[in-house]
Amino acid sequence: MSLFKNCLLASDIDGTLVDNGYISPRNIDAIRYFKEQGGTFVLSTGRSPKALGQIFGLMDSALVGPCVVLNGGMLYDFSAQKALYSALIPDSAKEYTRAVLGQWPDVGIEIHCGDNICVLRRTEETDFHEDYELLDREYVTYTEVCQKPWNKVLYTCDTVEIRDKFLRWLEGNGSKDCDYVPTGLNAGGGHHPYVEQMPKGITKAGGLARLSEMLGIEKGGFFAIGDYYNDIEMLKSADVSSTPGDAPQDMQKLANFVGGSCRNGAVADFIEYLSKKRR
């Protein structure tokens, strides 16, 4: 009996599957079981394709299907090493990033151009992010980077207060052709607040809907687990959703099931819950 035939399980990475560079062995065993039972397990993340090299150093890439990367801005098939879909920030929006460069001198700016990470303004926070995700990076000027295709811009801030002030400024001064999403990373003993600039309307949920159609996922067979606010649309769109037990309380209220902590195997807890529901 294949419990998960034509089913898709999407997992966020940081704070959900991975805790400070560690994946619980329980998670890996449960993902292997999910695949053996006919399911497709994928990652749904704000990371770029190259940033998943760190993850595949911790678990077998053969366990993972085509992934949603750049918060839905790209679908990437790692077995074929190619993008199945890619959304771009319009050229008209790039001037607004130059305005940030001039008016927010303490905000780091990292531009994701396909597989390439271009650092427009280097700060301690951009260094931390790139080192944490083991990213190759290129330090560029605005003139150099504006000639490239942009999938995402990541703005790094020193504190949540600065990020929130920056977000309010973007509401009045940012590009109307883009969405600005507050995100963050809990790692290295602290919280690192970010703002992600995405093409208008691009979300993890939209990327997963597109991927589900490509894979022929059955009605009622889409499952998702995530821990942070850029996962909200993904959790709401899933047939069954979950968060780790250490996700923010308002995130937990959105989920059908709340597992244990990320470090102790929240993804495994969710797969066990799904298995009981489908038997």
* Chain segment 202-259, per-residue pLDDT in tens: 999 999 999 999 999 989 999 999 998 889 999 999 999 999 999 999 999 999 999 9
**Res 213: pLDDT:** 96
Strands 257-258 and 178-187: unpaired
Q: How far apart are CA 206 and CA 222, in angstroms?
A: 13
Of 199, 228, 249, the domain-final residue: 199
Number of domains within the chain: 2
- Averaged pLDDT, 116-140: 94
In a 13 Å sphere around the CA of 251, the CA atoms on its Cβ side amount to 23
Six-digit token string for 206: 């939209």
Q: What's the gap between Cα 192 and its chain centre?
A: 15
Question: Does residue 244 share a domain with residue 147?
Answer: no
pLDDT range class, residue 279, cuts 50, 70, 90: confident
Choice between 23 and 230, residue whose per-residue pLDDT is larger: 23
Of 172, 199, 226, the domain-final residue: 199
Is residue 13 a part of any domain in this protein?
yes
Is residue 2 a part of any domain in this protein?
no
- Residue 175: its H or E element: none
Backbone angles phi, psi at 225, to 5 degrees: -135, 135
Six-digit token string for 196: 């992600």
Question: Does residue 119 share a domain with residue 214?
Answer: no
Q: What's the gap between Cα 234 and its chain centre?
A: 11
**Res 51: pLDDT:** 86
Choice between 205 and 54, residue whose per-residue pLDDT is larger: 205
Q: How far apart are CA 15 and CA 80, in angstroms?
A: 28
Question: Does residue 12 share a domain with residue 83?
Answer: yes
Supply the range of the domain harboring residue 126.
91-199
42 has a pLDDT exceeding 80: yes
**Res 114: pLDDT:** 84
21 has a pLDDT exceeding 90: no
102 has a pLDDT exceeding 80: yes
104 has a pLDDT exceeding 70: yes
**Res 41: pLDDT:** 98
* Number of residues in the chain: 279
Question: Does residue 123 share a domain with residue 83?
Answer: no
Question: Does residue 116 share a domain with residue 60?
Answer: no
Six-digit token string for 57: 């150093």
Look over the chain and give the mean of its residue pLDDT values, rounded to a whole number.
94
Question: Does residue 78 share a domain with residue 116?
Answer: no
Question: Does residue 212 share a domain with residue 229?
Answer: yes
Give per-residue pLDDT as tens, 70-84.
999 999 999 898 999
**Res 20: pLDDT:** 86
Of 179, 199, 219, the domain-final residue: 199
Contact predicate 263/19, CB 8 Å? yes
Looking at residue 146, which CATH number applies to its domain? 3.30.1240.10
Question: Which residue, among 101, 106, 107, has the nearest Cα to 144 in the 3D structure?
Answer: 101
Listed range (44-58, 81-95, 111-125, 143-157) with the worst mean pLDDT: 44-58
